[in-house]
Structure 1
Amino acid sequence: MGAAASSVSGSPPPRTATFTLDGVGKVYPGVVAVSDVTLSGYPGEVLAICGANGAGKSTLTKLLAGQERPTSGRVIVAGYDGEITTPSAALDAGVLLMHQEPVIVDTFSVQENVWLTGLSAAGRRRPWQLVGGRDRADRTRAALGVVGMREVDLGMPAGRLGPGPRQMVALSRSQVNEHRVLLLDETTASTTEEHFKDVEALVRKEREAGATVVFVSHRMPEVFALADRIAVMRNGSLVDVVDTADTTPEEIMTLMIGEAVMALEPPEPVAGADVPTLLEVRDVSSGSASGISFSVREGEIVGVYGLVGSGRSSLARSISGHQRRDTGTVRVRGHEVNPHSPRAALRQGIAYLSEDRRREGFVKDFDNATNLTLSTLGAFSTGGVMHTRRERR
């Protein structure tokens, strides 16, 4: 009778979850990072996790990946009887985490980095030695091809790669490590639109293979391009889980911040001959940038767009004293400048924010206060001696 009723109703059989977070919480001293979250992911599904900074998104993925132990609740992965309390346990259960900042060993080759995740499982042997000869190179090339990097030199030190390609090498590990759950924690933060196409292809391949993909991102277009469902976090709590087809970016943003999002009027464009030119670049060539000319007026924002290798970074670095300029002139308020160092560029009113924040944007061993004043040490020192009270103030 039960079978007949099921046939009449036409309801599909219940799905078996690949993983379940059962009342999971995480408390640090004085901070509740995650509070009583119950959430499941299913085979062949892309589950997005959205939330503002500090909402608990990354902590949630770290709990699922065994990088943090839950203060309360359980992390359950189907088919695995043990507790997910260590990264190795998560890997054994088939959970693979890709970080926002790619884990890359600069002195290892590209090929060695592709096989890096298997290092602990390989014992004393390096994981890339477990697969030999042409088969090793073919498998590496196939893995990199999934993320658009088939033509990269496998023997090149990974330290020579830019931020986007570094992330792509890290993502290629998903093709040489068995898994059922793939966690992408803000992995598109350092990639270009060009590389997002490769991430999109990877996610669709994972979905077709029956894996569960957890996609953590702030970028609404990416979320709506990839996700089947969206879980929204706010202040460590799970606010709602909605089907992507049944919601809008505006509704998700409202759930994230707890109030309706008001549309902002776009700024008026800078126009008129009376607006002075602030920056003038004429026929600048440097690195892969060749013969670039443009000007920027006061109060104006000019975007520079291009694919990887088109010369965007070379242009910016040549203007800001990070890279030698081969040809051309740069004028600031009508005066020609040719800074030979970032410090000289700062003195001439030109600041530069690197695309590679981790390696060039700050010193990780310094505290926040020291990092904030790194570019203006002269204002807080006399004869090389720092006035720390003035710096703190």
Structure 2
Amino acid sequence: PEAFTPDGVYYLGMAPEVDGCFVAAGFNSVGLQSAGGVGWVLADWIADRHAPMDLSAVDIRRAFPFQGNSEYLKERIPESLGLLYAMHWPFRQYESARNQRLSPIHDRIDTAGATFGEVAGWERPNWFALDGQERVYEYSYGKQNWFEASGVECDAVRNAVGFFDETCFVKLRVQGPDALTALNEICANEVDVPLGKAVYTQWCNDRGGIEADLTVTRLAEDEYFVVTAAVSGTRDAAWLREGCRDFRVTVTDVTLVTPANEVSTWTTHTEEQHRIAQRLLSLGIVIETGRTLASVAEDSVTTECVFTGDTRGIDASNVVIATSRKPQDDLFYELVDEINITRIGDCLAPGTIATSVYSGHRYARELDTEVLVPVPFIRE
């Protein structure tokens, strides 16, 4: 049987999840003609623990866990196979298995006239159509139909103001007593800087080659925020975790998914919602609203839109599910047959501190009275 990959290029190198596990697979009908070179470079790679040349185009660390989803592969691979024998246009955009990862402001960007391209599963605006221009690619080996539109954007950014949505950028948090020491070992530039300062730096290997090009921001004495390109997220995260292995640090990348239209919905009643959302975003947490958890795989999850039912994947090594919580009512059931007792607060249903305080406040108002309509929540 033949094996094809989502981007039509084979996988080569050490798997980012398993140290010492080297892969040569998914040869897309070019296995025999590639075998000699693959055997040579992989043998050197295994022996030296680094590639003998720039092999980023075939490096398995360009892949993402969501691409292992069977539904995604079922939709994408036929196109990948077909493109092997099609005209190889520059800037050719995949048409299948799209909308895997969307920015929270995707709809606004779409309304502004964006023509989207896919990078690491993210739908990103490649160019914005001019008035009367159709939002489609007209492929050519010369100047393509988006050339003028792109020029307008360049002029606007140079002479006015440009807005860049960085949702798709990979954000990694490095925390721990050795965070500074570890990052100064990994980074080419000094990261012992004042709190809040961002450092543009490279990550170099011991041969002087550049492995990553990114920014590192200091958030606290023992906490840093790393931002890197979407396309190199798997590779850079693996390089970072390998570099931090002997240090007392943790590396995390968090996405919060909620079926509500905003995070921590109930806190709109206490005027805390804005502060909570602001804090989560400042910590580098990606927030996806209007989505539920559809399925969980070994290294990814699939979420589903509560409005349209469309699904997309998120890379995930760990999943924390916050659903309905059990009330702490053991004592209530021990006493209910002996005394007149009413459940309130977390005994009734766990909630926020404000909920518990209000529950006690309401019970005090309703004590020894016949309650026809419960006292409503009143912000005071």
**Normalization by structure 1: what TM-score?**
0.27
Q: Report which structure shows greater RCO (CA 8 Å, sep ≥6).
A: 1
**Normalization by structure 2: what TM-score?**
0.28
Pick the structure with greater CA Rg. 2
